[in-house]
Amino acid sequence: HCCCSPTKTREWKPLEQRKCTDIPWLLLFILFNVGMLCICGFAIATGAASRLISGYDSYGNTCGQKNAKIPGIELSGRDHASRKYVFFLDPCNIDILRRKIKSVALCVSKCPDTELKTYEDLRNFSAVYGSDLCSYDVQPDTYSTHSNRATKCPTLPVHPSASLPVFHRCMPVDISCYARFAEAFITFVSDNSVVHRVIAGVMTSKEIIMGLCLLALVLSLILMVVIRYISVVLVWILTAVVVVGSIGGTGILWWLYVDHSKSVNATLPALELEVAKDNQKALLIYAIAATVFTVILLLLLFFMRKRVALTVALFHVASKVFTHLPLLALQPFWTFLTLMLFWVYWITVLLFLGSAGSPVQNNQTGLVEFRMDGPLQYMVWYHAVGLIWISEFILACQQMTVAGAVVTYYFTRDKSQMPFTPIVSSVLRLMRYHLGTVVKGAFIITLVEIPRLILTYIHSQLKGRENACARCMLKACICCLWCLEKCLTYLNTNAYTATAINSTNFCTSARDAFFILVENALRVAAINSVGDFVLFLGKVLIVSCTAFAGILSLNYQREYTVWVLPLIIVCVFSFLVAHCFLSIFEIVVDVLFLCFAIDTKYNDGSPGREYYMDKALMEFVENTRKDTERYGKVEAESREMKSMVSLKGQLLF
């Protein structure tokens, strides 16, 4: 459909002729979500939900209810109405590969709330509370003498445990067994007590960590407002670093080449002489390549210097957008909250599916597992596709919402006439007219992301077993798909902007946006390179300030002997917060650029075709026009001088 779209010239009419777009895709998405709900309903109807919440033992009995007999399983079909909790005989035996506790599970009436050190303690606990902690076929009075007590009774000592808030599992209150388990996988720790000190440091400094995370949030909001005042400085820093780095690196390579050339002489042994000549040739190649790269880079900087000015102007206007549309800053919160709610639902249904199906006895362990056979096992794959498609849909809704609000701001000449809440108006327009367009854009990203994730999984599973050629091909395919995904994401953002302007379907909008971007390829390159680097510097600034504040804060509490983990948590969170907010800023800049490109293409400032752009962008256009007129005047004078010289030569001869 995209390739067959009509190629007639687009007549851009901002905010006019609003209509529904890509309705068939919206209907397809609704049907897909009905399928997702059916999977959830199937899991609940087959008892998977009750097994997940109430828990079940290793013989297929669900705790807290009367169970039916499972053929071939001796200890199944028991009445556990009074036994509501799942107790693991060895709760610290965790299977990393299968992500579960590798232990026999029993249904008990009470979790042990005190430490039980001997089998006599197990018998006394059973006599007092009526809760048997050994296998069902072992009587409490034989706990101390039973021949299979090592496998049918819990590992001693039994740590105090408590039931989880919703899921009825007895989990140890003391996490020392998990700490010891974690220590085995931390290779850089030579002293086991370090882990305990790190965990203690995190727990005792949680108030400082929360305060520093809040500081990162405030710094991100401040940076989005003041970036228009420091963007020029950041651009000059970027230019200086690039120029000095490229020239300095090239000079060092040539100096090393000359130095090695002087050291190469015939008096060296044959082997050393051959190595020295190889190094000399390599340095010459590196120096020539660096020289070519530096020359090309300097030429690009020279020819793109005016387009860099456009990036600065767009950053200036983007900061003004946030002052006029402050609710834009809340978009990461709503998107994150929506994603979290969906991911919680998705994980819950996945856990339902993990305990759904028919009971099957494991031949190796003799215990019962629930597995789905036949076509039902493909529900997990359907559910996995839903995770990617719906997550991309939520992110695309954010992009369309931001694009709609910025388009309203840009193409409203009198800013006092804007809607009271442009963000809310943009959300309502999205829900009423353009959900199908967002669905289609998210589906295209999903089509690229699924094979990339499959190849990544295959690469991780074959790590160390495949040959070098296969490993290289897999990495190349993954890299190509990743690059394609990023390009499509960028094009999708501009397609959503075109839809917000013209109310056209996804393919038409993507085609129109693509032609506009191709016509302004150098400007796009300047904005994406310079703009991305400026935003990266902003992220570094926020992380650095937060980390510095963290060091000063922790310095006043000398009892924290290990600062590593608290500082890592703070730095990671501050980077994520900065990335979320500055990614919104980046979307605003991209939308503004497409609006600016459309504005300059179809308007010239004459009566009836006035510009919509902001004053800062208008100054950029005026400066560009003056430079063009000056260049045209110089070129005309040059042509006139050439014609006069030619005429004079003809008269002389």
91 pLDDT above the threshold of 70: yes
Q: Which residues contact 517 (CB under 8 A, 6 or more apart)?
A: 491, 494, 524, 594, 597
Q: What is the pLDDT of residue 633?
A: 53
pLDDT of residue 446: 93
Show the tokens assigned to 165.
């808030």
For residue 79, the SS3 value is strand
pLDDT category at 285 given cuts 50, 70, 90 is confident
Binned at pLDDT 50, 70 and 90, residue 624 comes out as: low
pLDDT at 626 over 90: no
Comparing C-alpha atoms, which of 5, 3, 15, 1 is closest to residue 497?
A: 15
pLDDT at position 206: 67
Per-residue pLDDT averaged across 198-222, rounded?
72
188 pLDDT more than 70: no
Torsion over CA: 169, 170, 175, 177 (sign): negative
pLDDT tens readout for residues 302-319: 776 666 777 777 777 887
- pLDDT on residue 560: 46
Question: What residue spans define the domains of the chain?
Answer: 59-189
Residue 241 has pLDDT above 80, yes or no: no
Q: By percentage, how much of the chain surpasses pLDDT 90? A: 12
Distances from the Cα of 551 to the Cα of 22, 351, 542, 558, 570, angstroms: 53, 41, 14, 11, 11
User: Would you give the end-to-end CA distance of the chain in angstroms?
Assistant: 67
User: Does 200 have pLDDT greater than 80?
Assistant: no
Overall average pLDDT of the 274-279 stretch: 70
**407 CB burial (10 A radius; 0-12, 13-18, 19+):** buried
Per-residue confidence (pLDDT) for residue 464, from 0 to 100: 63
The per-residue pLDDT for range 379-403, each reduced to its tens digit, is: 888 999 999 999 999 999 999 999 9
Estimate to the nearest angstrom the gap between the alpha carbon of 56 and the chain centroid.
36
Q: Does residue 97 register a pLDDT over 50?
A: no
Q: What is the pLDDT of residue 436?
A: 94
pTM of the model: 0.75
Handedness of CA 201, 204, 210, 215 (dihedral sign): negative
Task: Report the range of poorest mean pLDDT among 461-470, 558-567, 610-619.
Answer: 558-567
For residue 648, pLDDT over 50 is answered with: no
The pLDDT value recorded for residue 252 is: 85
What's the pLDDT score for residue 178?
55
Distance from C-alpha of 568 to C-alpha of 551, rounded to nearest angstrom: 11
C-alpha–C-alpha distance, residues 185 and 611, integer Å = 62
The Cα 447–Cα 439 span in angstroms is 12
pLDDT band for position 37 (cuts 50, 70, 90): very high
Q: List, in order, residues 6 or more apart from 7 with CB less than 8 Å away.
A: none
Distance CA 469, CA 477 (A): 12
Tens digits of residue pLDDT in 440-499: 999 999 999 998 888 888 877 776 666 777 778 888 888 898 889 888 988 999 999 999
Q: What is the pLDDT of residue 652?
A: 47
92-106, 236-250, 326-340, 529-543: which has the highest mean pLDDT? 326-340
> When comparing pLDDT for 509 and 49, which is higher?
509
Distance (Å, whole) CA 439 – CA 23:
10
Task: Evaluate the CA torsion angle 535, 540, 546, 548 in order and state its sign.
Answer: negative
The segment with the largest mean pLDDT, out of 98-107, 347-356, 448-457, is 448-457
| Closest among 416, 415, 588 to 500, alpha carbons compared | 588
What one-character-per-residue DSSP string does 496-530 give?
Answer: HHHHHHH---HHHHHHHHHHHHHHTHHHHHHIIII
- With a cut of 90, say whether residue 439 has pLDDT above it: yes
* Mean pLDDT estimate for the chain: 78
Q: Is the pLDDT of residue 99 over 50?
A: no
pLDDT at 557: 57
Contact 131, 109 (CB under 8 A): yes
- Would you say 65 and 80 are in contact if contact means Cβ atoms under 8 Å apart? yes
Per residue in 127-173, pLDDT tens? Answer: 888 888 898 888 888 888 888 888 888 888 888 888 877 778 888 87
Q: How far is 60 from 360, CA to CA, in rounded Å?
A: 9
Instruction: Give dist(CA 631, CA 629) in Å, integer.
Output: 5
* pLDDT at residue 411 is higher than 80: yes
> What residues contact 602, with CB distance under 8 A and at least 6 apart?
12, 609
Lowest mean pLDDT segment, chosen from 35-44, 268-277, 582-591: 268-277
More confident residue, 575 or 527: 575
514/220: higher pLDDT? 514
